[in-house]
Amino acid sequence: MRDETREFTPAVIADRTRAYVRENFLYMRPDWPLKDEDPLFGGGVIDSIGVIELVGFLQREFGCTLEEDEITERNLGSVAAIARFLHAKCNGGVRAA
């Protein structure tokens, strides 16, 4: 969708995702120490409904379409994993929207 897809470096993806997670899932715990490698799901930051919300955000923000089989702990399990996965996916052009 967006032309600037290729401009999203892993650091930018991580920054925006971290900010989004803090604002929408950790607004009640600003003291929560969220490091980029911390688990988002097992750690209880995001619940099962939150996954849908997070996927929606990632698709809107970074202009990629996530396939059903890509919505996994390995790809989206932490801020760092999301940055790695989306950067590779968007820049590789594989199934990018």
Partner 1 sequence: MQRIGRGDIARVFPEVIRHTETPLVRTAPAPLYLLSRIVREHGIKVVLTGEGSDEVFLGYDLFKEAIIRLLCWRRPASRLPPRLLDGLYPGIAPASGKGDFWRGYFMTAGSPDDPLFSHLPRFQLTARIKDFYAAEFRAGLGPFDPLAELRARLPAGFGAWSPLARAAYLEITTLLSSYLLSSQGDRMAMAHGVEARVPYLDHRLVEFAAALPARSKLRGLREKNILRRWGEATGLLPAAVARRRKQPYRAPDVPAFFDGRPPEYVEALLDPVSLRRTGIFNPEAVAGLVRRCRAGRAEGFRENQALVAILSTELWHREFLGAPAPALVRARVAGSARVEPAPVETPAAA
Give the interface with partner 1 as residue ranges (CB under 8 A): 24, 27-31, 41-42, 44, 47-53, 55, 68-73, 76
Cβ atoms of 12 and 90 within 8 Å: the answer is no
How far apart are CB 26 and partner 1 at their closest, in Å? 9
Beta strands in 1-97 (DSSP E): none
| 33: helix, strand or coil | coil
How far apart are CB 39 and partner 1 at their closest, in Å? 9
How far apart are CB 11 and partner 1 at their closest, in Å? 25
